[in-house]
Copies of this chain bind each other. A is one copy, B any other.
């Protein structure tokens, strides 16, 4: 990222962004104004006071806020799209664990993470919450590369001190915590756009002793938390066996202040839980009370035969929700793809599971991918005033069509047509042009 490219400027083009889950604002031939990395809003006619700012003319092209990926595993990017016909346990044993073990080797980590960072840079994603591996040095390499990419991200060194094969399992809760503290001493505050996030892999991989230590670290550094929740029926059963005192899966995190609230300090703990396919009513209530974010990962939940998360329910309850690619349970980093997958599986949910839960609209899914997930980062994922200025410009003339289309139709077709794979012209993050074709 080239810091000195950050500036104040105007984008001109066909603008579309979410106001709420049920409302998109469209401004054909509109002006999006960026002043010092923040949006000043979108205008049909350029206000006089901005007339002297340089104008980047993307007339005829689609301009949307950058997309937000609330859940992605950087080390799994290497094997994305392979072994997708395996089931979860085979997949972990044959693909995930052997690959993640390689990141003890910093040379390999650098090579693989460079590919990941380059791909993220070229994608439509501008904000991401990223799992690394348990290796703190490799995680720092990843953070260096993410910072260079220009994307805004939370990156977590993974904690895992049980139920994993030897090279990946940390030797003890103390060792895991010590490594985490050392990692934080290196990376906390080191970057402009890359922030650490506590990342206990999931309850089956973390002893209570480890969770207790992570709680202490959380209290000191006031860090956010990301993990997995209620993804798969067997996993949920296993957690029930491991934590007989927990009322439900999420309660096992909450007991250690790692589920939205630090009970010791009473402070909120920004928390994302990926999947939430099998969350019980009780768990859902706690998520709502504690303002826990749901990272909905529809592709992964299909690929790993997990099921379909009840996203309509989460939206109705006002639980903060966004989308996750979950590479490499998900096979692609494309959040456009996640938007379409979210709509598709919500239709199958309606048909196969519960006809009281209406399918998602495209408008709702686009909201999840932008402003919905973006709120984890503060004011991100929209062009409303004072939002972080992140934008993606798409050349949808590459999708030929015989008739006139509305802006929402053009956006929907761009998403369903995977235009992010070949039609991104420019990408801005926090006021910087980080990629241009």
Contact = CB atoms under 8 A, between A and B. Distances in A.
A148 interface: no
A302 B347 contact: yes
Nearest to A358: B87
A307 B413 contact: no
Contacts of A255: none
Going nearest first, the 8 A-B pairs with the smallest beta carbon separation are: A81-B416, A305-B347, A81-B413, A112-B402, A331-B416, A302-B344, A82-B409, A85-B361
A408 to B, nearest CB: 9
A192 interface: no
Interface string A326-361: 000001100000001001110110111100000111
A47 interface: no
Interface of A: 78-85, 87, 108, 111-112, 115, 118-119, 299, 302-308, 331-332, 340, 343-345, 347-348, 350-353, 359-363, 365, 399-403, 405, 409, 412-418, 421-422
A110 to B, nearest CB: 10
A308 B409 contact: no
Given A331-B340, A352-B353, A400 B118 contact: yes
A82 B340 contact: no
A419 to B, nearest CB: 9
A81 B412 contact: yes
25 contacts: A78-B402, A79-B403, A80-B413, A81-B399, A81-B412, A82-B412, A83-B409, A83-B412, A84-B412, A85-B360, A85-B363, A87-B359, A115-B402, A119-B400, A302-B344, A302-B348, A303-B343, A304-B347, A306-B351, A331-B340, A332-B417, A352-B352, A418-B418, A418-B421, A421-B422
A403 B352 contact: no
A345 B412 CA distance: 22
A85 B418 contact: no
B307 A351 contact: yes
A208 to B, nearest CB: 31
Find the residue from A81, A115, A306, A405 having the highest chain B CB count within 10 A.
A81
A82 B302 contact: no
Contact of A305 (B118, B308, B331, B359): B359
A418 B416 CA distance: 12
A111 B422 contact: no
B303 A417 contact: no
B305 A85 contact: no
A117 to B, nearest CB: 11
B417 A359 contact: no
Find the residue from A108, A115, A308, A403 having the highest chain B CB count within 10 A.
A403
A84 B343 contact: yes
Contacts of A308: 348, 352
A402 B85 contact: no
Given A81-B399, A81-B416, A332-B416, 7 more contacts: A79-B401, A83-B409, A84-B416, A302-B347, A305-B350, A307-B351, A348-B352
